[in-house]
């Protein structure tokens, strides 16, 4: 399990993101890179990414209802959101994380 | 642990190992169970019993065959599933606690998920793998994996992943059931049959003439022989029960023991009674006395201490007891001793399959020596003719396989040949009695004859039978130029014979009297002759006495004369 150091944020809510992978597959690595890039751009200083390798912890797949790999779960803020895939489609990732509405406008 | 499957399965098992389902009847039609180590597709429309079948497969595996199982459900939660089978007496929670079953509810909510780029279903693989490893599962159920198609937007990818999944399940060597919803023009909506090609079971639930009927068919079973028909199945308190023709071959045990029909003259017609374990059909028109013959048979069996199951479809229990009492058959003692089980139900109250399944269960519970179904013809009301014929075939086969003597009563319509039964079961029947009304000289009378009785010599005569307050009695046969004489013609014939008897007796008496007179006359003659002899004798005696007396007189006279002469001589000298 790898954990990204969280940079403290003063004014806005904290984001807790979990990225579920199954081993270090190309798709997983790509997803992590894409996620990091998006977070740096949209949530600088107020995000935390936890990468969970389900090969090491298969139990968590059942507990967190993971089927597809890779899956990104927005734990906080509520409500829970899931984005699956290698996140190469940035727009859809942003929609999935509700960082941008489906119409295209960026959220606060 | 591999349990030997019935019939020829052991032979096949050498080439294709099987995992028995433990579901009654299913193992027979699949010749031993599902293909071991391979996936089987179970498809059917909603509510046809797929989930229950899959669940029973796992539960029986865990409890009877020492094969733990993993249940991966895509639709219902663990709690819902546990609840569903609790009513069938299965304690799923206990099996989970004992480490014999593992559950995982895979829940995919489409509107919670955004797809952004490439993905695979490795998470699902890991979860199935975990469920398998946690209990050492040998059996896996995926119910209903097609739900995934509504959770993800990329069907091509899903197909590829499912193909990989089934391959992977095979590699893991688990026996799997994959359920699928029936699709339009295809077995499953997503064409899963393309991927799961070893064994496909199709379940069906349809309404036929307002009666619900469940059917099962083995669409495909690679490398194994299997029954190809549609088999009715039921969901009962005991779970799923498939009703196969009990054996794919004819391997009944045969007995040469005779059982009495309860009517001694009928026994005589059959040279001692029915064979034990044979099937007897009694057909006849309305009111011809079929039930009475059946009741005689049942009462006789119970009197011997045998158990009898009597299924009545037309009369209530109380009615049968009353009616049979009126002809001298008291069923009460047998009922009281628990030997006779008289069960009345409306034929249309359930589908044919349910009737058959209930009969199976009752036979399993009671283990009777004799089963009477009165009448089988009314079952036709609960299904089509073809269904009825198939059901009767199963019924006869089942009872024969158990060595139970079965008496089936069949009502035939008045027109047409009595010898043809509507349901084509006659070829399965060992002994066939036909009761018919004989209309002659303005009367209807009851006649009985044996159409066939396999394996025994039997009378070929039509007997008249009468129902008296002491039961059924078969009467002597009077064959006249116009056929068998019955009723008043028989009585007239009897009267003629009686009259002839009387005159014959009178003739004899007359002759006897004549002879007596002659005897008396002769005797009198003899007496007279004897008297004559006596008188002759007496005469003879008298004569002889007289002659003696005369002799002596003569002698005296000679002496006297001599004396006289002597004195004269002296004088002369």
Residues B74 and B198 in one domain: yes
Locate B305 and state its tokens.
Answer: 């201490």
Is residue A108 a part of any domain in this protein?
Answer: no
Residues B135 and B279 in one domain: no
Nearest to A68 among B104, B112, B121 (CB): B121
Number of domains composing chain A: 1
Q: How many helices (H) and strands (E) does chain B have?
A: 15, 25
Residues B157 and B285 in one domain: no
d(CA B26, CA B194): 23
pLDDT tens for B13-48 read 456 889 999 887 888 888 889 999 999 999 988 888
Is residue B550 a part of any domain in this protein?
Answer: no
Is residue B566 a part of any domain in this protein?
Answer: no
Own/partner long-range contacts of A59-63 (Cβ < 8 Å, ≥24 apart) = A59/B130, A60/A20, A61/A20, A61/B123, A61/B126, A61/B127, A61/B130, A62/B104, A62/B127, A62/B130
d(CA B418, CA B426): 11
Q: Do A96 and B116 touch (CB under 8 A)?
A: yes
If pLDDT is split at 50, 70 and 90, which confidence band does B492 have? Answer: confident
Is residue A12 a part of any domain in this protein?
Answer: yes
* Contact by Cβ (8 Å): B453, B270: yes
Question: Residue B226's pLDDT is what?
Answer: 80
Number of domains composing chain B: 2
The minimum CA-CA distance between A3 and chain B, rounded to whole Å, is 20
How far from the centroid of its chain's Cα atoms is residue A43's Cα? 12
Is residue A72 a part of any domain in this protein?
Answer: yes
If one counts every other C-beta atom within 10 angstroms of the C-beta of residue B423, the result is 21
Return the residue of A nearest to B158 by Cα.
A68
d(CA B301, CA B407): 12
Residues B466 and B328 in one domain: yes
Residues B228 and B264 in one domain: no
d(CA B371, CA B310): 6
Is residue B294 a part of any domain in this protein?
Answer: yes
Residues B267 and B208 in one domain: no
Is residue B458 a part of any domain in this protein?
Answer: yes
Is residue A61 a part of any domain in this protein?
Answer: yes
d(CA B40, CA B176): 6
Nearest to B114 among A61, A88, A96 (CB): A96
Full residue range of the structural domain in which residue B426 is found: 258-477
- The CA R_g of chain A, rounded to the nearest whole Å, is 13
If one counts every other C-beta atom within 10 angstroms of the C-beta of residue B488, the result is 15
Mean pLDDT of chain A: 83
The minimum CA-CA distance between A10 and chain B, rounded to whole Å, is 29
Residues B200 and B272 in one domain: no
Nearest to B120 among A20, A61, A69 (CB): A69
B281: left (phi over 0), alpha (psi -120 to 50) or beta: beta
d(CA B370, CA B364): 13
d(CA B389, CA B349): 19
Indicate the angle between helix axes B50-64 and B78-86, nearest 10 degrees. Answer: 80
Residues B276 and B382 in one domain: yes
Would the pLDDT of B374 be above 90? Answer: no
The minimum CA-CA distance between A87 and chain B, rounded to whole Å, is 5
pLDDT tens for B196-221 read 778 999 998 877 666 677 888 888 88
Is residue A23 a part of any domain in this protein?
Answer: yes
Residues B349 and B293 in one domain: yes
Is B237 an active-site residue?
Answer: no
Is residue B71 a part of any domain in this protein?
Answer: yes
Locate A90 and state its tokens.
Answer: 């940035």
Show the beta-strand stretches assigned E in B223-317: 230-236, 239-242, 258-259, 274-275, 279-284, 308-312
Full residue range of the structural domain in which residue A92 is found: 2-96
d(CA B172, CA B166): 10
Residues B227 and B298 in one domain: no
d(CA B371, CA B367): 10
Is residue A90 a part of any domain in this protein?
Answer: yes
Is B75 an active-site residue?
Answer: yes
Last residue of a domain, one of B242, B276, B311: B242
The minimum CA-CA distance between B144 and chain A, rounded to whole Å, is 15
Is residue B363 a part of any domain in this protein?
Answer: yes
pLDDT tens for B378-429 read 777 666 667 777 778 778 888 888 888 999 888 876 555 555 555 566 777 8
Q: Checking DSSP bridges between strand B279-284 and strand B405-411, what pairing results, if any?
A: parallel
Q: Do B116 and A27 touch (CB under 8 A)?
A: no
- Window 57-96 of A: residues touching B by CB (8 A cutoff) are 58-59, 61-62, 65-71, 80-90, 92-93, 95-96
Q: Do A66 and B129 touch (CB under 8 A)?
A: no
Q: Do B127 and A62 touch (CB under 8 A)?
A: yes
Please identify which of the residues B75, B76, B194, B315 carries the catalytic annotation: B75
d(CA B524, CA B397): 83
Would the pLDDT of B194 be above 70? Answer: yes
Locate B203 and state its tokens.
Answer: 């379940």
**Residue bearing the bigger pLDDT, A53 or B475:** A53
Mutate to test the interface with B, among A18, A84, A96, A97 (most CBs of B within 10 A): A84
Locate B25 and state its tokens.
Answer: 């009847």
Is residue B357 a part of any domain in this protein?
Answer: yes
The minimum CA-CA distance between B121 and chain A, rounded to whole Å, is 4
Spell out a b/e string for B96-132, using b for 16 or more CB atoms within 10 Å of the CB, else e: beeebbbbbbbebeeebbbbbbbbbbbbbbbbbbbbb
Is residue A35 a part of any domain in this protein?
Answer: yes
Would the pLDDT of B250 be above 80? Answer: no
Q: Do A86 and B119 touch (CB under 8 A)?
A: yes
CATH of the domain at B41: 3.40.50.300
Show Cβ contacts of residue B279 under 8 Å, excluding neighbours closer than 6 positions: B396, B399, B400, B405, B406, B408, B428, B429, B430, B431
Last residue of a domain, one of B453, B477, B501: B477
Helix (H, G, I), strand (E, B) or coil at A76: strand
Select from B390, B384, B427, B425 the least CA-distant residue to B408. Answer: B425
Chain A to chain B Cβ contacts (< 8 Å): 100
Question: Residue B421's pLDDT is what?
Answer: 55
Mean pLDDT of chain B: 82
Nearest to B119 among A55, A84, A96 (CB): A84
CATH of the domain at A13: 3.40.30.10
**B contact set with A (CB within 8 A):** 104, 106-108, 112-124, 126-127, 129-130, 148, 151-152
Q: Do B120 and A68 touch (CB under 8 A)?
A: yes
What's the start-to-end Cα distance of chain B, in Å?
A: 167
Q: Which residue do the tokens 């002469």 mark?
A: B565
Would the pLDDT of B2 be above 50? Answer: no
Instruction: Kindly report which listed range (B309-323, B516-530, B554-568) carries the lowest average pLDDT score.
Output: B554-568
Dihedral pair phi/psi, residue B546, rounded to 5°: -60, -40
ipTM metric: 0.85
Is residue B554 a part of any domain in this protein?
Answer: no
- Taking CB atoms and an 8 Å cutoff, what residues of chain B touch A33? none
Is residue A107 a part of any domain in this protein?
Answer: no
Q: Do A65 and B106 touch (CB under 8 A)?
A: yes
- Taking CB atoms and an 8 Å cutoff, what residues of chain B touch A101? none
The minimum CA-CA distance between A44 and chain B, rounded to whole Å, is 21
* Contact by Cβ (8 Å): A71, A78: no
Q: Do A93 and B114 touch (CB under 8 A)?
A: yes
* Contact by Cβ (8 Å): B340, B334: yes
Residues B94 and B159 in one domain: yes
d(CA B96, CA B90): 12
Question: Residue B12's pLDDT is what?
Answer: 44
Nearest to B118 among A27, A55, A83 (CB): A27
Helix (H, G, I), strand (E, B) or coil at B115: strand
Q: How far is CA B52 from each of CA B91, B205, B523, rounded to the nearest angstrom?
A: 14, 14, 105
* Contact by Cβ (8 Å): A103, A95: no
Element (DSSP H or E) covering residue B535: helix B487-572
């Amino acid at each position: 399990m790898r954990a990204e150091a969280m940079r403290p944020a003063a004014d806005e809510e904290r984001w807790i993101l979990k990225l579920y992978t199954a081993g270090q597959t190309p798709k997983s690595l790509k997803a992590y890179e894409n996620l990091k890039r998006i977070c740096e751009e949209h949530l600088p200083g107020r995000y935390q990414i936890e990468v969970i390798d389900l090969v090491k912890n298969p139990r968590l797949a059942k507990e967190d209802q993971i089927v597809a790999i890779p899956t990104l779960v927005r734990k906080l803020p509520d409500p829970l959101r899931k984005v699956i895939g290698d996140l190469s489609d940035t727009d859809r990732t942003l929609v999935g994380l509700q960082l941008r509405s489906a119409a295209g406008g960026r959220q606060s | 642990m591999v349990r030997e499957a019935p019939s020829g399965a052991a032979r096949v098992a050498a080439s294709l190992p099987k995992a028995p389902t433990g579901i009654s009847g299913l193992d027979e039609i699949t010749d031993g169970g599902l293909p071991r180590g391979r996936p089987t597709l179970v498809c059917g429309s909603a509510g046809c019993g797929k989930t229950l079948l899959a669940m029973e497969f796992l539960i029986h595996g865990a409890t009877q065959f020492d094969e733990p199982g993993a249940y991966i459900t895509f639709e219902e939660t663990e709690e819902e599933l546990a609840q569903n089978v609790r009513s069938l007496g299965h304690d799923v929670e206990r099996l989970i606690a004992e480490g014999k079953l593992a559950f995982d509810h895979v829940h995919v909510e489409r509107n919670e998920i955004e797809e952004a780029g490439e993905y695979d279903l490795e998470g699902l693989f890991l979860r199935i793998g975990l469920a398998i490893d946690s209990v050492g599962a040998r059996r896996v159920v995926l119910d209903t994996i097609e739900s995934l198609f509504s959770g993800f937007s990329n069907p091509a990818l899903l197909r590829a992943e499912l193909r990989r999944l089934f391959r992977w399940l095979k590699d893991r060597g688990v026996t799997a059931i994959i359920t699928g919803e029936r699709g339009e023009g295809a077995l499953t909506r997503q064409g899963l049959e393309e991927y799961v090609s070893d064994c496909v079971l199709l379940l069906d639930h349809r309404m036929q003439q307002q009666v619900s009927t469940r059917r099962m068919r083995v669409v495909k079973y690679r490398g194994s022989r299997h029954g190809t028909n549609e088999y009715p199945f039921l969901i009962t308190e005991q779970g799923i029960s498939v009703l196969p023709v009990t054996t794919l071959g004819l391997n009944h045990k045969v007995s040469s023991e005779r059982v009495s029909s309860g009517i001694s003259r009928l026994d005589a017609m059959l040279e001692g009674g029915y064979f034990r374990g044979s099937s007897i059909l009694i057909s006849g028109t309305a009111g011809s006395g079929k039930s009475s013959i059946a009741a005689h048979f049942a009462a006789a069996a119970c009197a011997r201490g045998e158990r009898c199951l009597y299924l009545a479809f037309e009369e209530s229990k109380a009615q049968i007891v009353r009616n049979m009492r009126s002809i001298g058959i008291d069923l009460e003692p047998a009922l009281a001793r628990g030997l006779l089980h008289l069960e009345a139900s409306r034929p249309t109250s359930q589908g044919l399959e349910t009737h058959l399944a209930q009969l199976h269960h009752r036979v399993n519970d009671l283990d009777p020596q004799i089963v009477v179904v009165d009448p089988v013809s009314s079952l036709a009301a609960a299904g089509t003719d073809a269904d009825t014929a198939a059901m009767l075939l199963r019924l006869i086969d089942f009872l024969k396989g158990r060595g139970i003597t079965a008496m089936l009563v069949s009502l035939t319509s008045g027109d047409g040949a009595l010898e043809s039964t509507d349901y084509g079961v006659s070829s399965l029947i060992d002994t066939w009695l036909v009761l018919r009304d004989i209309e002659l000289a303005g009367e209807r009378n009851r006649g009985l004859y044996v159409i066939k009785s396999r394996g025994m010599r039997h009378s070929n005569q039509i007997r008249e039978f009468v129902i008296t307050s002491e039961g059924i009695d078969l009467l002597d046969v009077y064959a006249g130029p116009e056929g068998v004489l019955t009723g008043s013609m028989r009585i007239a014939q009897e009267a003629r014979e009686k009259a002839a008897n009387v005159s014959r007796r009178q003739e004899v008496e007359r002759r006897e009297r004549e002879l007596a007179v002659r005897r008396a006359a002769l005797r009198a003659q003899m007496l007279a002759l004897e008297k004559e002899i006596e008188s002759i004798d007496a005469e003879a005696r008298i004569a002889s006495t007289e002659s003696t007396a005369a002799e002596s007189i003569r002698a005296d006279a000679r002496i006297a004369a001599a004396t006289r002469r002597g004195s004269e001589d002296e004088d002369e000298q």
